[in-house]
Amino acid sequence: MDALLAVRARGITKCFGDVVALDGVDLDVTQGQIHGLVGPNGAGKTTLLGLLLGLAVADGGRLEILGTPVERALAVPDGVAGFVDGPGLYPSLTARQNLAALARLRGHDARTAGIDEVLDQVGLTDVADDKARGFSLGMRQRLGLAAALLTGPRLLVLDEPSNGLDPSGKRQVHRVLTRLAAAGTGVVVSSHRMDDLEALCSEVTILATGRVVFSGPLNKLAAENRELDYRVRTSDPRAARRLADDTDGIRVVEDTRTRQDAEVLVVRALVPALDELVAHLVRSGVAVRELAPVVSPLEAAFLALTEPQEDGR
Amino acid sequence: MTTAIAEDGVAVVRRVPLSRGYRFEVVKLVSQWRIRLLVLACWIAPALFVAGVGQQSTLPSDTLFGRWMHATGWAGPLVMLGFAGTWALPLLTSAVAGDVFAAEDRLGTWRHLLVAVRSPRGIFVAKSLASLTVILLLVAGLVCSSVIGGLASVGDQPLVGLDGHLLTPGDAAGRVVLAWLCALAPTLALTALGLLGSVALGRSPMGLLLPPLVALGMQVAQMLPLPVAVRLALPGYAFISWNGLFTSPAQLAPLLIGVAVSLVWAVLATALAYLLFLRRDFTNLAYDGAGRRALTVGLLPPAALTAVTVAVVAVATPSTGSGIEQNKVQRSVATAFAHLYRLQTRQLHRPAVTEAKLRTTAACTKSDGQGAQEGAGNDWRCVVTWHLPDVAVAGTAVYQLDVASDGRFVADGDGPKEVNGYFLVRTPTGDAPNPLWQFDGNVELLDTTSKG
């Protein structure tokens, strides 16, 4: 048993009648890590998150949370918090009352439970005394996060925490999660927003039809996998195109999204070939003003690993 | 805000104590404007109603004790109890217990609650106790408010019982409280049915409607000419049988049977709700009630319980008929008349006379003596005969009786005018309501109480 592991799952299976929701899933989440969980709808993400929160118990396999084997439902150890399918809030209570009720439920004095601090962390201080009934989806998400923070979690499990968040709210949530992870909390985040996960996570697990199709660091996903499309904006597009055609492993592709922009070239390449193209451009005196993947490595991997039949590349 | 960690560094599993879960549920319930409104209504409206009616010239004489609302403040809480048993308590239990589980379905908060509390058993007990607390608060409001309204507007006067005997204010107070306590038993049964509906039918409005529907069904059943054993075996009978506390001697057997049946129903419905709740799959977001299981688990055991209680009551009490028999009607009318005659005698400042000296008897026939002389109906006619000391000729008075199938009757005086034919009597201090003109009474359906 690794003391640093917040989650250790081996061969987890879970069925609902004839439907196999999880099929031999392995998952390791170390403490202090933000781990992303990606997969198409019906891949088993919510089921897996439910197991981590103790809402259900696996039919097979072994699950350890914070070093404690979980063998029956609702038997996860203290220190696990989060939500699946949206946060549970009571609309007739204010934001502060929701948190106070939760704090008292856990045996804390509502006055000293740190309610103001967590409301401040998620940016809801101004609406602390408003009924949750009038909250937008983003505010509800943030209040749900505040409720989870209130418990001082050592493992935080969040399902689509960025749903409905505006850019400022998203940044606030990211800041909270990053700070929490830095303090040693293991965080498992499920999301369909690849940009979110790339910004937050050090490792991801991709699920498809209940199975793990990739699990590991994000950079490994980019390096070990397939060619990606990159946008290259240069000072001399014509010269850049010629150099791209001359570089081994580089293909220039037509991209409808960049066709209107004459300065942009879209190339398909592995990372080493791309490095070589950049070197050629620089040596030829062509300034590189922008270089970015058209589709993020995570999204590309997600599409490739979960929908291989549609990948025409 | 600390996580419990054992000495070996392994986190421990800790459940939330029941007291905290209970408090959490109470907070959630009383934060709802609907519940706050109900609490406010139950603590204010009865007082206003009783005080208001007490000032009106027309009284709700079709409601038990309604015709005495001018005479004593203790009639108001009993009128309120009759109304509550029919309407208020089924609706209140529905609004509180019938929604306490379904609300979590509606809000999508089950997973949040389970993660926080970690014990479905704990959640069930906490929710049930919280609902019960709020319902008791509402019932307490109905009692206190109607008592305060009655005493403030009319006063602490003696109450005329259901057999015409006079209860002192202290005795009346005790029996009013006892009657409301007895009504708690069917209220508990409705509460448990509300919990069952809320668990079994999820966010479906049928769950919310279960207590009023059951209460309505029971009221309709009580209006039908059912055998006494069936009548007593229904959980709503205690909403009627509290009437027996206001006779002398009190008709305790039907009251105790009604209370016992209600409590058995409360236990059974709560147990069924508990079993359904524990079997629920909380990972299924599409859950919308226990479906077919709700029908088998929710309907078959209550049906079986009804059959068993009917059989037990039928065996324990020889009461398979209507319970409304000629001799019982005659005895009830004669007893009530004798008590009320004394009241009229006092009003008229005539020499006092006791019931024993009056030697009152009643000769009652149904349908002019045609057909079976038993059962409910408005075709009962009674001729009451009484004797006055030192008067050779016996007095007679005629009453038309409307006897309901639950044993309650209204006797309507048919003359002579000086005795019971007019709604007023002329007293030395002016006209006063004639207690013999119309009066309520009841026929004890069981043959267990000693003759009064």
Element (H, E) at B150: helix B120-153
CA distance B245 to B250: 5
Find tokens 């479905």 and name the residue.
B120
Has residue B11 been placed in a domain? no
> Is residue B3 over pLDDT 70?
no
What distance in Å separates residue A202's CA from the closest CA in chain B?
25
Same domain, B371 and B398: yes
Residues A126 and A268: their CA atoms lie apart, in Å, by 48
Q: What is the CA radius of gyration of chain A?
A: 23
In angstroms, the CA A8 to CA A4 distance is 10
Q: Is A56 helix (H, G, I), strand (E, B) or coil?
A: coil
Q: What is the pLDDT of residue B331?
A: 94
Residue B10 has pLDDT above 70, yes or no: no
Question: Looking at residue B302, what is its pLDDT?
Answer: 79
Q: Whole-angstrom Cα distance, residue B290 to residue B280?
A: 8
Q: Is residue A206 a contact partner of residue A213, using CB atoms and an 8 Å limit?
A: yes
**Which is nearest to A85 in space by CA: A188, A159, A156?**
A159
The phi-psi region of residue B381 (left if phi > 0; otherwise alpha if psi is between -120 and 50; otherwise beta) is: beta
Task: Please identify which residue in the block is written with the tokens 């291989």.
Answer: A308
Please write the tens of the pLDDT for every residue from B390-428: 888 889 999 999 999 989 999 999 979 888 888 888 888
Does residue B332 sit in the same domain as residue B229? no
Compare CB distances from A102 to B110, B116, B119 and report the shortest one's residue: B116
- At A215, list the tokens: 């699990």
CA distance A244 to chain B (A): 52
Residues B411, B284: one domain?
Answer: no
Chain A contact for B30, CB < 8 A? no
Q: Is B292 in the same domain as B335? A: no
A78 contacts B13 by C-beta, under 8 angstroms: yes
Same domain, yes or no: B333 and B307: no
Number of domains chain B contains:
2
Residue A94 clears pLDDT 80, i.e. is over it: yes
Model confidence at A225, in pLDDT bands (50, 70, 90)?
A: low
pLDDT for A272? 87
- Provide the terminal-to-terminal Cα distance of chain B, rounded to the nearest Å: 68
Our CA angle for A45, A46, A50, nearest 5°, is 120
Q: What is the pLDDT of residues A117-160, one digit of tens each?
A: 999 999 999 999 999 999 999 999 999 999 999 988 999 999 98
- Comparing A123-132, A176-185, B260-269, B276-285, the range with the smallest average pLDDT is B276-285
- pLDDT, one tens digit per residue, over B85-131 is 989 999 999 999 999 999 998 888 988 898 888 889 999 999 999 99
B-chain CB neighbours of A82 within 8 Å are: 115
How confident is the model at residue A106, as a pLDDT? Answer: 84
pLDDT digits (tens, 9 = 90+) for B121-175: 999 999 999 999 999 999 999 999 999 999 999 999 999 999 999 999 999 999 9
Chain-chain contact of A105 with B24 (C-beta, under 8 angstroms): yes
Residue in chain B lying closest to A87 (CA): B112
| Structure token digits, residue B132 | 């019960």
Q: Which two tokens stand for residue B295?
A: 């029908």
Reported confidence tier of residue B268, pLDDT bands at 50, 70, 90 = very high
* B9 within a domain of the structure (yes/no): no
B452 assigned to some structural domain: no
CB atoms within 10 A of CB A152: 20
Is B2 contained in some domain?
Answer: no
Q: Which residues contact B334 (CB under 8 A, 6 or more apart)?
A: B360, B361, B362, B384
> Do residues B189 and B305 both lie within one domain?
yes
The CA distance from B164 to B355, in Å, is: 11
Instruction: Please answer yes or no on whether A153 and B28 come within 8 Å at the CB atom.
Output: no
* Greater model confidence, A14 or A109: A14
pLDDT, residue B294, reads 65
Predicted ipTM?
0.80
B359 in contact with chain A, both atoms CB, cutoff 8 A: no
- Residues B369 and B309 occupy one common structural domain: no
The residue of chain A nearest to residue B20, with distances taken between CA atoms, is A105
For residue B156, what are the domain limits? 18-316
pLDDT value of residue A6: 93
Q: What pLDDT sits at residue A305? A: 77
Q: Assess whether B28 and B166 both reside in one domain.
A: yes
Asked if residue B8 has pLDDT above 70, the reply is no
Residue A249: burial class (beta carbons within 10 Å; 0-12, 13-18, 19+):
middle
Burial (CB count within 10 angstroms: exposed 0-12, middle 13-18, buried 19+), residue A239:
middle
Q: Which of B3, B18, B33 to mutate to test the interface with A (most CBs of A within 10 A)?
A: B3
What kind and span of H or E run contains A48? helix A45-53
Which band of pLDDT confidence, cut at 50, 70 and 90, is reported for residue A310? very low
* Chain B residues in contact with A87 (beta carbon < 8 A): 112
Percent above pLDDT 70 for chain B: 92
On chain B, the residues whose CB falls within 8 A of the CB of A74 are 114, 118-120
pLDDT of residue B287: 62
Which of B278, B295, B316 marks a domain boundary?
Answer: B316
Q: What is the DSSP code (8-state) at residue A186?
A: E
* Residue B298's pLDDT band (cuts 50, 70, 90): low
pLDDT recorded at residue A312: 39
B366 shares its domain with B431: yes
Distance from C-alpha of A110 to C-alpha of A99, rounded to nearest angstrom: 8
- Amino acid present at A81: A
Name which of A56, A121, A134 is nearest A95 in CA terms. A134
Q: What is the pLDDT of residue B429?
A: 83
Helix runs in B317-366, H state only: 326-347, 355-358
CA of A163, closest CA in chain B: separation in Å? 16
The DSSP call for residue B17 is P
- The angle, 0 to 180 degrees and rounded to 10, between the axes of the packed helices B75-83 and B120-153 is 140
CB atoms within 10 A of CB B361: 17
Residue A256 scores a pLDDT above 80: no
Do B335 and B437 sit in the same domain of this protein? yes
Could you give the angle at the alpha carbon of A67 between the alpha carbons of A62 and A70, nearest 5°? 40
Q: Is pLDDT above 60 for B12? A: no
Are both B257 and B355 inside the same structural domain?
no
Which of B316, B346, B376 is at the close of a domain?
B316
Which position has the higher pLDDT, A146 or B57? A146
Residue ranges of chain A that CATH labels 3.40.50.300: 5-217
Instruction: For residue B165, count CB atoms less than 10 angstroms from its CB and return exposed for 0-12, middle for 13-18, buried for 19 or more.
Output: buried
Mean pLDDT, all residues of chain B: 88
Q: Considering the entire predicted model, what is its pTM? A: 0.85
Domain with CATH 3.30.70.250 in chain A: 225-310
> Are B330 and B206 in the same domain?
no
Beta partners for residue B412, in sequence order:
B400, B438
Q: Determine whether the interchain pair B10/A88 forms a contact, defined as Cβ–Cβ distance below 8 Å.
A: no
Helices marked H in B154-291: 169-201, 205-223, 228-232, 238-241, 252-278
Task: Check residue B15 and report its DSSP letter.
Answer: P
Helices (H), B56-109: 75-83, 89-96, 102-107
CATH of domain A5-217: 3.40.50.300
Bridge partners for A188 per DSSP: A35, A157
Whether the predicted pLDDT of A195 surpasses 90: no
Among A146, A106, A145, A128, smallest CA distance to B23 is for: A106
Cα distance between the two ends of chain A: 42
User: How would CATH label the architecture of A225-310?
Assistant: 2-Layer Sandwich (3.30)
Q: Are A281 and A241 in contact (CB under 8 A)?
A: no
Asked whether residue B3 is assigned to any structural domain, the reply reads: no
Task: Choose the closest CB to B11 out of A106, A150, A154.
Answer: A154
Which site among A66, A90, A135 would you substitute to test the B interface, given the most B Cβ atoms closer than 10 Å to its Cβ? Answer: A90
Contact B334, B163 (CB under 8 A): no
For residue A3, list chain B residues with Cβ-Cβ distance below 8 A: 9
